[in-house]
Amino acid sequence: MENGRADPIAGAVTRAGRYRWGIVALLFLATVINYVDRQMIGVLKPTLSADLGWTETDYADVIFFFQLAYAIGYLGFGRVMDVVGARFGYAIAFVIWQIAHIAHGGAYSVTQFAMARFGLGLGESGNFPASIKAVTEWFPARERALAIGVFNAGANVGAIITPLVVPVITLAYGWRAAFIVTGLVSLLWLVAWLAFYRRPSEHPKLSKEERAWIEQDPADPAQPIAWRRLVGVRETWAYALGKFFIDPIWWFFLFWLPGYLGDRYDLDLLSFGPPLVAVYLLSDIGSVVGGWMSSRLIASGKSVNYARKLTMFVCACAVLPIFFAQSIDNLWLAVLVIGVATAAHQAFSANLYTLPSDIFPRAAVGSVVGIGGTVGAIGGMLMAKYAGYVLDSIGSYVPLFAVAGTAYFLALLSVHLLSPRLARVEI
C-alpha cells in the first residue's frame, strides 16, 4: 500500500511471475556447495589430525591460510564483479574453488593441505560478492534483505549436509575420496549458472512487469567506482568493521564446533552429525527470519536505519548465552544455546550484508562487499591463531566463547557510530 492505495507494480509482478526468485535459488545452491566444501575440514578434523599427525596449532595454520586467501580474493572478486558482472565473475570463482577443493584429496602434509586450502579460500571468496551483486541487480531495495537471507540460508544447509554425507563417504572410501566426489558433483551447478543467469535487462524470459518492479529504485551510476574513493567514505568502514567483528565468530563455529562437540561430549565422526544438523537447522531459520524481520519493519513504515539496527540489536542479545556454553553438561541443551547463537549470527549477517546495497550506488556494491569481506577475513586470521594458541596452551574453549558473546555488540556499535542514519552515499 502507498498512501492508502494498492501498489500497482506489486500487483503486476504478482500476476507476471517471480523469475528473480529462481535466481535466488541458484545463489542458494551455490552457497550450499560453498559451505559443504569449506566445512569438510571441520567435520574431518579428528580424522585428519589422526592420519596426518596435526596439533591444534597445525590445524589453526591450515585455517589461517584459507583466511589469508579469502582476504586477498574477497577484495579482488568484489572488484571483478563490478567490472565483468556476476555471471562470468561467479563462474571464474567457482572453477577456482572446485579445482582447489578436489586437490585436497592429494595432500599429504600440512604444507600441501595449506596450499590447497589457500586455493579454496581464493575461489570461495567470490561467492558472496557475486551473490550480493546478483541480488542488487535482480531485486529492489525493499526485497534485498529477504533475498540475501534466503540465499545465505544455503550456508546452513551446506553445514547440515556435510556431517551427514561426508562421514559416510569417508568411512566407505576414505577422506581423500570425499573431497574428490563432492568436487566433481558440484560442477553441475556451473552448467546451470551459465545457462540461466543474465542481467534483468538482457534476460529473454523476464516479463516487462517484473522488470519494472526490479527497476523501481532511482537509477545509479553505471560505471564502477574506484577503490580510492570508497576507502575514504565512513560508510565503507561501517560495513567493514562490522564484518571484522562477526566473521571470525562464524569461522570459529564452522571450523571448531565439530571438534568441540567431539572433545566435550565424547562424540565421534558419525555421532556428532545430529547435533551439528540441529545447530545449523536453527541457523537456517535465523538467516531467513533476520531478513524477514527487517523487511517487515520497513514495509510497516519504519526507516531502513531503524529496521536494520533494531534487528541486529536483537540478534546481538540472542548470542549472549554462548558465554555459558562450556559449562553446560547436557549435550542437547548446549546444542540449543549454540544453535540460537548461530541463528542470531545468520540473522545479523543477513542485515549487515544488505547495508552496501542500502547505502551505496549499485556500481559500488561489489567493491564495498569485497573490502568488508577482506577486513572480515583478517579478523578470521586473527581468530584462527588465537584459537590454536588457546587450545594448545590451556585446552579450554571459554575464552573463545567469551569473544563470541561480545563481538556482535561491537559490530553494531561500529556500524552506528560510522553511519548513524544509514543515509545514501553520494559518490
User: Are 241 and 414 contacting, i.e. CB atoms less than 8 angstroms apart?
Assistant: yes
Band of residue 53 on the pLDDT scale cut at 50, 70, 90:
very high
Among 121, 88, 306, smallest CA distance to 197 is for 88
The 10s digit of each residue's pLDDT in 58-93 is 999 999 999 999 888 877 887 788 788 888 999 999
Q: Is the pLDDT of residue 327 over 90?
A: yes
Helix/strand/coil for 2: strand
Residue 1, pLDDT score: 44
pLDDT at 22: 87
- How high is the pLDDT of residue 374? 86
Tabulate helix, strand, coil % of the chain (nearest 5). 85, 0, 15
pLDDT value of position 3: 47
pTM for the full predicted model: 0.79
Predicted local confidence at residue 404, as pLDDT: 97
Report the percentage of the chain scoring pLDDT > 70: 94
Which among 282, 244, 317, 299 is positioned nearest to 153, based on CA atoms? Answer: 282
Summarised one tens digit per residue, pLDDT across range 38-50 is 999 999 998 998 8
At residue 79, the pLDDT reads 77
Query: How many of the other CB atoms lie within 10 Å of CB of 101?
Result: 27
The reported pLDDT for the residue numbered 333 is 97
Tell the residue number behind the cell numbers 492508502, with chain if given. Answer: 4
The domain limits of the chain are: 16-210+222-418
CATH number listed for the domain at residues 16-210+222-418: 1.20.1250.20
Average pLDDT of the chain, as a whole number: 88
What single-letter DSSP state applies at residue 323? Answer: G
